[in-house]
Structure 1
Amino acid sequence: MTTKFSFRIFAAALCCAVASWSGIGLARAQSVAVMVNGEPITNFDIEQRSKLDKLSNQSRTRQQVLDELIDEKVKIREGKKFGVNPSDSDIDSSFASMSSRMRMSPDQMVKMLAAQGIRPGTLKSKIKAEMVWTSLVRGRFKDSLLVGEKDIQAQLAAKGGDDKSTTESFEYQMRPVVLIVSRGSGAGAVEARRKEAEALRSRVQSCADADRIFKALPNAAIRATVVKTSADLPPALREILDKTPVGQMTAPEATKQGVEMVALCSRKPTTADTPMKREIREKMYAEKFQAKSKDYLRESRNAAMIEYR
């Protein structure tokens, strides 16, 4: 009995020692660098964010990385005070959108990060902080971020904005049309459909004509009406539409789907922003947002409890 009892005591002591040694190793890997409002930022967090920096060709000091992580903790905490707390699905959706812009699936993005020793949570935590802060600043300071028409006009005058591109804006109603060409088809097939498109184009004098002709045509499609203003369109397309008579079609263009054209249903003046006014408005808004964000973050950080270890 004494031997068995002694063995049990020894085994228990050994287990405790192993757990203690494991805890020490884990603590070293996860040693806390800073506490922000009672929440830790570990050296591992800093290492992960530094690796993310390298992936985007950024070069920052350890302190700069740490300051960013502190700011993010402050932003998340401030967001919770006002009920701004994106769900996991919101963050995953943003992660997927970022992956798509990089021409990857979310799974491919995860694998790419893993190859660099980066956990997906490292990027997702950065995404969450940006989502929270953008929503918070826009929501709390909405009125002060508005850009007045007088300010825009003053900027236009300073730029010498007296030509039509800065003073006139139009609303375009369009019906996109595509003559489908099967994938893998040669240049001859595309050229044949282009000639067919040119012939059909000459018969169209209204969007009603376009609707009737292309709905009856095999391997062709006419899409629903699209409404855009001058500021919504790239300059090249805007120029084409301005030169196209209302009721007629733009010249055929080869695309991935086949041969495409646009039937211009109407073009009428609108009070919506011109491209130049849109550019000025967005720039002034961004400047106001950055200034307000900087001031708000400084105030929030000053009120936070930050303890360096």
Structure 2
Amino acid sequence: MTSKLSLRIIGLALCCAAAALSLGTTQGQAQSVVVMVNGEPITNFDIDQRSKLNRMSHKADSRQQVLEDLIDEKVKIKEAKKYGVNPSDSDIDSSFSTMASRMRMSTAQMTNMLAAQGIRPDTLKSRIRAEMVWASLVRGRFKDSLQVSEREVQAQLKGGDDTKAVESFEYQLRPVVMIVSRGSVSESLDARRKEAEQLRGRISSCAEADRVFKAMPNAAIRGIVIKTSADLPPALREILDKTPVGHLTPPEVTKQGIEMVALCERKQSTADTPRKREIREKLFGEKFQAKSKEYLQEVRKAAMIEYR
């Protein structure tokens, strides 16, 4: 009896030892170094993590491409540190939080979403850090060569048949809200909308709008807001261009209630038109990408990259 029990204990011990050895081998393979970049390792685990993150973004990069991207990030961060570009952990956390907000999630929800895919938050934060420091470094070091001149913008506009492309306006606006309590019946909302339409037909100056809405219960008029054509979405720009100065835009139902905008002034401006801003941003993006690629190649040549 004792002999059989001893054999079982020995067998169990051997199984546990084998399992531990197997686990240790698996973990060792995952953490094995694939390449050293300026003395810093990139492991199989790093490659696996980034591959999972890429799949979440619907990027089907090969393992080699993922490795090359990780090498690029290592050299970018080292080069940035050389010039004092080194964001703090709180800066990276803030950017991580902003990314979560754009996806309409909290930081915790974003972390949980990544964890569900087997991805550590640090994997995404490392990518954020590399993108942040590189953009800052390239913009700072090559600021002059990245500038887009008015001549370059005009060359892109030349030959276009859109006359609005060369017109820009500055608008002085006063937003107005006629408050409707949440959960109000549709009849109350309709009545408030009809009241807004009546006021819209009657008011013909911002001074009058100021007087009327300040005296009206459950209503408010805000201070002057100045916007240019390029600052506004196309739909609002079109409405403002059709609205006579001093009058109100058509009422719109929002969470607050009924909202309108009093157009106090509209005048031509030398600021960029929406089309010119679009061209300027496109040209800047092209220059930035070209300079970034050239600079990265230069930095990689000078880096110590040792494949294992």
Q: Same fold (TM over 0.5)?
A: yes
Does residue 265 (structure 1) correspond to residue 261 (structure 2)? The answer is no
Determine helix, strand or coil for the equivalent of 1:113.
helix
Q: Map 1:214-229; keep pairs closer than 5 Å.
A: 214-229=213-228
Shift of 1:306: 0.6
Query: What does the per-residue CA deviation read over 1:98-120, in whole Å, with 9 as the maximum and x for residues that have no partner?
Result: 11111111111011111111111
Query: What does the per-residue CA deviation read over 1:245-300, in whole Å, with 9 as the maximum and x for residues that have no partner?
Result: 11111010112221110001111111111111111111111000000000001101
CA contact (8 A) 1:204 1:210 kept: yes
TM-score of the pair, normalised by structure 1: 0.89
Determine helix, strand or coil for the equivalent of 1:179.
strand
Q: Map 1:202-213; keep pairs closer than 5 Å.
A: 202-213=201-212
Shift of 1:208: 2.1
Structure 1: gaps (5+ residues):
1-16
CA contact (8 A) 1:51 1:118 kept: yes
Q: Map 1:158-307; keep pairs closer than 5 Å.
A: 160-161=159-160, 163-307=162-306
For 2:295, the aligned partner's letter is: Y
TM-score of the pair, normalised by structure 2: 0.89
* Cα separation, 2, equivalents of 1:30 and 1:294: 30
Q: Which moved more, 1:137-146 or 1:210-219?
A: 210-219
For 1:125, the aligned partner's letter is: S
For 2:302, the aligned partner's letter is: A
Match in the other structure for 2:53: 52
Query: What does the per-residue CA deviation read over 1:80-100, in whole Å, with 9 as the maximum and x for residues that have no partner?
Result: 011111112211121111111
Query: What does the per-residue CA deviation read over 1:187-221, in whole Å, with 9 as the maximum and x for residues that have no partner?
Result: 22221111121122233222222222222322222
Determine helix, strand or coil for the equivalent of 1:40.
strand
* Cα separation, 2, equivalents of 1:39 and 1:23: 23
* Cα separation, 2, equivalents of 1:24 and 1:260: 65
Shift of 1:26: 4.6
Shift of 1:162: 5.1
CA contact (8 A) 1:161 1:167 kept: no
For 1:127, the aligned partner's letter is: I
CA RMSD of aligned residues (A): 1.8
For 1:267, the aligned partner's letter is: R
For 1:245, the aligned partner's letter is: P
* Cα separation, 1, equivalents of 2:232 and 2:123: 37
For 2:156, the aligned partner's letter is: Q
Structure 2: gaps (5+ residues):
1-16
Match in the other structure for 1:27: 28
For 2:92, the aligned partner's letter is: I
* Cα separation, 1, equivalents of 2:95 and 2:220: 32
Match in the other structure for 1:10: none
Determine helix, strand or coil for the equivalent of 1:261.
strand
* Cα separation, 2, equivalents of 1:270 and 1:65: 48
For 1:59, the aligned partner's letter is: A
Query: What does the per-residue CA deviation read over 1:156-181, in whole Å, with 9 as the maximum and x for residues that have no partner?
Result: 11xx2354311211001101111122
For 2:53, the aligned partner's letter is: L
Shift of 1:32: 1.0
CA contact (8 A) 1:251 1:261 kept: yes
Aligned length: 289
Q: Map 1:1-16; keep pairs closer than 5 Å.
A: none
Does residue 140 (structure 1) correspond to residue 141 (structure 2)? The answer is yes
CA contact (8 A) 1:171 1:270 kept: yes
Match in the other structure for 1:11: none
Shift of 1:240: 0.8
* Cα separation, 2, equivalents of 1:268 and 1:287: 33
CA contact (8 A) 1:33 1:308 kept: yes
Match in the other structure for 1:12: none
Match in the other structure for 2:153: 152
Q: 1:201 to 1:277 in 2, by over 3 A?
A: same
Match in the other structure for 1:68: 69
* Cα separation, 2, equivalents of 1:63 and 1:240: 52
CA contact (8 A) 1:33 1:40 kept: yes
Determine helix, strand or coil for the equivalent of 1:59.
coil
Match in the other structure for 2:110: 109
Match in the other structure for 1:7: none
